[in-house]
């Protein structure tokens, strides 16, 4: 499956680009799952461009070799019962999308006879290319574009200029072209992988295509396309579409933008994209003229200048540099974008970054361990092993140690930037606090079970601190406004890893480990329910990291470069699976429970094994510490310090750098 996802990544990248530039306004189109035709006179359409992954049979009508066609058995056998020209045993992704969107199944554009284009058209052609010279035999992208222009002209004749223009403006343009698919063993074909000649000459055919990912050497089965289409339509649990799904794209009403709360409906990345598009595409400027793009705001950090080593940390909406920065963030660590989709329903963050007159307040409350601790442990009577309030921590961004286990910022800090919230002080820091934007209770080495670490702020203590804040908000805002804030707030957590670190697993069976995981996740579930009882509804979970791959784990267990301590990966895998199941149960038990899970485990593993795409050169050795992997004692005694933390995944033996967190 992983190889397939890599192989199909281009498909999703193309769709994601469409999603970024079409996510502009709030919802209108209701695509009922019973697939009944509505009485709404507005037309909705999808225009499909692509290659064999999307071709419904256009190549049937081209005078080309059978190699470029799929109009012979056993193609089509599973769903249609006969070959249609689709390179599958049944349907393709656009077919399933039409089903979800309550649209009729498109005929091939080149099929003779009468065509209705009010629901779109499919111009895709197997073996189509972006560059015409790469394949002059099929419908390259330029030819498909020409066919679309023909369809647009016919729509003008059929509907009139006004309605045709409205249809084209509201349509979705779905494309899959230019990609290469990796080959595993297929259901139909010849050779060791059944990679060629499905239906031609002597070939093998599996008994159940539903058990296969690929039907022939290059193309998924009907069952696989069904799953892929579901991901494309909904985004899926792993958020394969971002910042929104195709269904959400359909629900956007481009005609009603000025009457809607624009900034509240969009994620940070989508707002940035809108502003950039307005600056680069003149036609874009006529839409939603109330959007402003006039100021920039700095992320404040204790009065220190945020410029360091030629970098600027300003949010300049509408400028290309921030757009590149946003896309880097989305590609590297997806939490910001995924979470911002939840935050989008909460935060009233105008694009001019000015305070609005709306009396509703929006907040993010943070619970966790050292991955999220902004410096709360500075104010606890604990040893330096639980603190990061000494150099070289903090050197990259703040220029001084803040208590964060990083050379700079942590994930919640980047979230505050994207959500247009102020940078939180540690909750335990003396002085005046404003909680209308939330608070950060995280504490390094915090545990879910209080008995696992009595020295820091375990989850129960952090929950108690949140109750104090809720009480103060009642006093400050009044009961009605405080309840509104608590209800609309997002509750972000990253905790549990330390509980597994301290567990004595030497003689533990798998059953014993699973029981322990159930206790940890059960306590997290109880924490959710308690906040839910207080009025909270939106929860964001970061799962447990692959701690067996950290420099500290390698050093402590005498591992080699590129090696992970497998025993230490067992608990995170068990925990992360249990967390997924628990949130599904909570959805059933709590009717208004909304959540997302950031797969931190997979993100960090991807950074480890594909470091170059994140601009990271060193993943095995920490930037700061002692020992062969610099796995211990950063800033304590004699230790080594790298010259450029941005080139490192880990700053000390356990914690990522500012660059990695970004």
Reply yes or no on whether 196 is catalytic: no
Burial class (CB in 10 A: 0-12, 13-18, 19+), 111: middle
**What is d(CA 4, CA 522) in angstroms, rounded to the nearest whole number?**
34
Encode 467-503: b = buried (16+ Cβ within 10 Å), e = exposed.
eebbeebbeebeeebbbbbbebbbbbbbbbbbbbbeb
**What is d(CA 620, CA 608) in angstroms, rounded to the nearest whole number?**
8
Reply yes or no on whether 370 is catalytic: yes
**What is d(CA 46, CA 250) in angstroms, rounded to the nearest whole number?**
9
For 405-457, what is the HEC assignment?
A: CCCCCCHHHHHHHHCCCCCCCECCCCCCCCCCCEEECCCCCCCCCHHHCCCCC
Reply yes or no on whether 606 is catalytic: no
For 292-326, what is the HEC assignment?
A: CCCCCEECCCCCCCCCECCECCEECCCCHHHHHHH
3-state secondary structure of 490: strand
Verify cis geometry, omega within 30 degrees of 0, for the bond prior to 392.
yes
Backbone angles phi, psi at 521, to 5 degrees: -65, -35
Alpha-helical (H) ranges within 132-288 are 141-159, 161-170, 222-234, 246-250, 262-265, 268-280
**What is d(CA 636, CA 199) in angstroms, rounded to the nearest whole number?**
69
**What is d(CA 439, CA 415) in angstroms, rounded to the nearest whole number?**
13
DSSP string of 543-573, one letter each residue:
----GGGSHHHHHHTTPPTT---HHHHHHHH
3-state secondary structure of 647: helix
- The DSSP code for 346 is T
Q: Among residues 216, 413, 646, 652, which one is catalytic? A: 652
Q: Among residues 265, 370, 550, 626, which one is catalytic? A: 370
Pairing between strand 640-641 and 624-625?
Answer: antiparallel
Is the distance from CB of 469 to CB of 517 less than 8 angstroms? no
Q: Among residues 43, 219, 223, 655, which one is catalytic? A: 655
Active site residues: 370, 652, 655
């Amino acid at each position: 499956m992983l190889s397939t996802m890599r192989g199909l990544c281009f498909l999703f990248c193309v769709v994601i680009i469409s999603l970024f530039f079409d996510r502009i306004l709030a919802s209108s189109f209701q695509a009922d799952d019973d697939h009944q035709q509505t009485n709404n006179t507005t037309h909705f359409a999808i225009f499909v461009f692509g290659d064999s992954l999307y071709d419904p049979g256009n190549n049937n009508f081209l005078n080309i070799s059978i190699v470029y066609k799929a109009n012979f058995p056993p193609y089509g056998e599973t769903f249609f019962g006969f070959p249609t020209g689709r390179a599958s045993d049944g349907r393709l992704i656009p077919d399933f999308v039409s089903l979800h969107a309550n649209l009729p199944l498109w005929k091939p554009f080149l099929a003779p006879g009468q065509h209705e284009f009010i629901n779109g058209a499919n111009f895709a052609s197997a073996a189509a290319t972006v560059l015409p010279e790469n394949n002059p035999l099929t419908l390259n992208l330029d030819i498909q574009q020409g066919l679309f222009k023909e369809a647009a002209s016919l729509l003008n004749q059929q509907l009139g200029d006004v309605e045709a223009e409205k249809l084209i403006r509201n349509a979705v343009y779905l494309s899959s072209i230019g990609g290469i698919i990796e080959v595993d063993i297929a259901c139909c074909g010849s050779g060791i992988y059944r990679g060629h000649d499905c239906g031609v000459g002597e070939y093998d055919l599996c008994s159940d295509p539903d058990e296969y990912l690929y039907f022939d050497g290059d193309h998924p089965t009907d069952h696989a396309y069904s799953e892929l289409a579901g991901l494309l339509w909904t985004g899926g649990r792993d958020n394969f579409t971002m910042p929104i799904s195709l269904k959400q794209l359909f629900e956007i009403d481009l005609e009603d933008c000025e009457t809607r709360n624009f900034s509240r409906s969009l994620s940070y990345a989508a707002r940035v994209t809108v502003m950039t598009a307005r600056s680069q595409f003149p036609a874009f400027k006529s839409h939603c003229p109330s959007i402003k793009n006039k100021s920039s705001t700095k992320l404040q950090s204790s009065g220190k200048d945020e410029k360091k080593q030629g970098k600027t940390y300003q949010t300049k909406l509408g400028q290309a540099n921030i757009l590149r920065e946003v896309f880097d963030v989305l590609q590297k660590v997806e939490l910001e974008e995924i979470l911002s989709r939840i935050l989008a329903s909460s935060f009233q963050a105008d694009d001019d970054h000015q305070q609005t007159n709306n009396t509703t307040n929006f907040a993010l409350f943070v619970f966790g361990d050292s991955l999220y601790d902004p410096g709360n442990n500075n104010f606890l009577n604990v040893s330096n092993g639980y603190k990061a309030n000494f150099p070289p921590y903090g050197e990259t961004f703040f220029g001084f140690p803040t208590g964060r286990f990083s050379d700079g910022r942590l994930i919640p800090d980047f979230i505050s930037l994207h959500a247009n919230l102020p940078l939180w002080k540690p909750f335990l820091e003396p002085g005046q606090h404003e909680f209308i934007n939330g608070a950060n209770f995280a504490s390094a080495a915090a545990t879910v079970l209080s008995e696992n670490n009595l020295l820091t702020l375990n989850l129960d203590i952090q929950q108690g601190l949140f109750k104090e804040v809720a009480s103060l908000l009642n006093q400050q805002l009044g009961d009605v406004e405080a309840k509104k804030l608590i209800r609309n707030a997002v509750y972000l957590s990253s905790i549990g890893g330390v509980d597994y670190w301290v567990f004595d697993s030497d003689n533990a069976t798998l059953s014993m480990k699973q029981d322990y995981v159930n206790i940890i996740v059960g306590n997290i579930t109880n924490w959710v329910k308690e906040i839910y009882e207080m009025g909270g509804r939106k929860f964001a979970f970061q799962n447990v990291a692959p701690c067996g791959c950290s420099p500290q784990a390698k050093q402590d267990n005498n591992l080699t470069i590129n090696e992970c301590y497998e025993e230490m990966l067992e608990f995170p895998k068990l925990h992360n699976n249990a967390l997924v199941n628990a949130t599904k149960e909570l959805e059933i038990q709590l009717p208004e429970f909304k959540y997302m899970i950031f797969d931190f485990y997979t993100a960090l593993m991807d950074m480890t094994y594909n470091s170059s795409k994140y601009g990271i050169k060193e993943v095995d050795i920490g930037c700061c510490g002692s020992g062969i992997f610099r796995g211990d004692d950063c800033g304590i005694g004699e230790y080594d310090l790298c010259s450029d933390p941005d080139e490192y995944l880990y700053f000390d033996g356990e914690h990522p750098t500012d660059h990695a967190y970004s």
